[in-house]
Structure 1
Amino acid sequence: MATMIKTEKLTFTYPAEEGGRQESSALREVELEIEKGSFVAILGHNGSGKSTLAKHMNAVLLPTGGTVWVEGLDTADPALLLEVRRRVGMVFQNPDNQIVANVVEEDVAFAPENLGVPSAEIRKRVDDALEAVGMEEYARHAPHLLSGGQKQRVAIAGVIAMEPECIVLDESTAMLDPVGRREVLTTVHKLNRERGITVVLITHHMNEAMEADRAIVMNHGQVAMDGTPRAVFARVEELRALGLAAPDTVELLYELRSRGIDIPLDAMTVEECADAICHAFSGEK
């Protein structure tokens, strides 16, 4: 498959703060390649570098060393900045920080207007984007009256209206309740599945990564694990050493296995976990 985002020896160091604090190295020669059309979850504890990595994917931050490529475009080239950000849209943790208008449809139209898109095309993009996130009936509503999940879907619609090829969600579900998280995840999975939009999900919720094509675990600014969610989450002890826990289902299977029960660790869903336990206790293979 074609490459959407590629990093080569990506390094980033935050400058020293006032008061004598030393520089902080957030990324250390990260080598990463994300395929176009894939759904990738990036995990890690606070300070692991996952959000810093996300901000490099559409040039919110620029490398202090190495290179980031977006479909072959060097993000550090000022002449390519607009094109990089058109191709990769970002959705941040707090939707209130991204909503700029008093009416939902005006907020979604904001980015295309700034790109100089013709009015007729903007109208089409706004309608299409709101339909894609299931918010078309709220087009004339005031954003501040919406729930957290609805606001985040409006923020995603604003990104979709730019017609990006990739959406990066930087802890975009962290402030939401379980219903809001499910709304947002359902939306981005639909965009990935039906429109082929590449999705990079930065999260600390292990359960959110279960449905991804690929799970990447960051630690101290480097890639510590990289593989399918089943393969990564089965490495329970390694995850614990990094300050992370596997999904509840895998943790349960691990505890059973540690007590001498012959049971696999690659069952992630509740149904798979239940089946594995039934088979283990019934003696089936």
Structure 2
Amino acid sequence: MDEMIRLQGVKYAYPTAEGVALPALDGITLDIHRGSFVAVLGHNGSGKSTLAKHLNGILIPTEGKVLVSGMDTADEDRLLDIRRTVGMVFQNPDNQIVANVVEEDVAFALENLGVPSEEIRRRVDEALKLVGMYEFRTHAPHLLSGGQKQRVAIAGVIAMRPDCIVLDEPTAMLDPRGRDEVLETVGRLNREYGVTVVLITHHMEEAAEAGRVVVMSDGRVLMDGSPRQVFQRVEELRKAGLSVPETVELLWELKECGMNLPLDALTVEECAQAIYALLH
């Protein structure tokens, strides 16, 4: 697999009014492979959103480098190419919707880039179909549910044809149904269309859907592995202010009571099978 994004010794500090720099990233070295689905987990203040903003040049490292398909985010001449390669979806869908009609919103960035009208029409229809919002194309965005609005925001990014989508806590303001809608959309983009996905989240169940989980704490990478590998480290995750999926939590508590159970069951079915196997 080749690297979509490479971070090399990235440090970042936010300037303050007093002129004192507040460190947010402390020497991050990380490769994100093309076509992968990576979840970045961490409590509030762990540095995960700061990391997200480095992946398409919204923030530039204080030290170190971020390379996107070989392009240095510190190179201002490449910034437009970098942002076409890596699209961003943020927490609040209301802040990303700019038009009064769904299809006009999805077309907005393409129009600004001077994409020909026929191509815009084709891309907008394709993007809305991909996120399951085509039948809402003539609706007013403010009448949609939170999950639907976020899917429209994702369609706006997809229409730009990025190789990678970074989603910074995209479900934080959504109800469970909206969260499911967005996660299913993101998973399908990765599986069926090969889009590289970086999902920033603090929800364990969301991270369990990814192929790889990177856990951050105090601006550093604390863990990096598959969901099964990472979520077995229950006590370390708790020390970092994080929980584990409910299935792993149950197995861990039973194990603490002396039952010989594995901690790598992520789905309810796997969890039930592990307990069944022990009892029979």
TM-score range, shorter chain: over 0.9
What is the distance in 2 between the residues matched to 1:188 and 1:81?
A: 25
Deviation of 1:21 after TM superposition, in Å, equals: 7.6
Equivalent residues in 2 for 1:170-185, closer than 5 Å: 170-185=168-183
- Which residue does the alignment assign to 1:24? 22
RMSD: 0.8
**Counterpart position of 2:225:** 227
Residue 247 (structure 1) aligned to one of 240, 245, 248: 245
CA distance in 2, matches of 1:25, 1:190: 36
Aligned to 2:205: 207
Q: Secondary structure at the match of 2:261?
A: coil
**Deviations 1:148-176, CA, capped at 9 Å, x for gaps:** 00000000000001000000000000000
* Corresponding residue number in structure 2 for 1:134: 132
Output the CA distance in 2 between the equivalents of 1:114 and 1:41: 31
Structure 2 residue 11 is matched with structure 1 residue 11: yes
Following superposition, the deviation at residue 278 of structure 1 comes to 1.1
Aligned partners of 2:278 and 2:200: how far apart in 1? 35
Compute the TM-score of the two structures, normalised by the length of structure 2. 0.99
Q: Distance in 2 between matches of 1:190 and 1:244?
A: 27
Aligned partner of residue 226 in structure 1, secondary structure: strand
> Of the candidates 251, 267, 270, which is equivalent to residue 269 of structure 1?
267
Unaligned runs of 5+ in 2: none
Partners of 2:151 and 2:20 in 1: CA distance: 39
Deviations 1:147-205 (A, max 9, x none): 00000000000000100000000000000000000000000111111110000000000
1:22-58 Cα offsets, whole Å, 9 max, x none, are 3210001100000000000000000000000000001
1:189 maps to 2:187: yes
Q: Which amino acid aligns with 1:263?
A: L
Question: In structure 1, how many angstroms separate the alpha carbons of the residues matched to 2:195 and 2:109?
Answer: 18
How many pairs align? Answer: 280
Distance in 1 (alpha carbons) for counterparts of 2:91 and 2:144: 16
SS of the equivalent of 1:174 reads: coil
After TM superposition, which residue ranges in structure 1, 4 or more long, deviate above 4 angstroms?
none
TM-score (norm 1): 0.97
Report the secondary structure of 2:274's partner residue. Answer: helix
What are the within-5 Å matches in structure 2 for residues 113-128 of structure 1?
113-128=111-126
The answer for the alignment partner of 2:48 in structure 1 is 50
In structure 1, C-alpha distance between the alignment counterparts of 2:113 and 2:160, rounded to whole Å: 8
**Structure 1 unaligned residues grouped into runs of 5+:** none
Distance 1:109 1:60 in 2: 22
Between the aligned residues of both structures, percent identity stands at 67
How far 1:130 moved relative to its partner? 0.3
Amino acid corresponding to residue 13 of structure 2 in structure 1: T
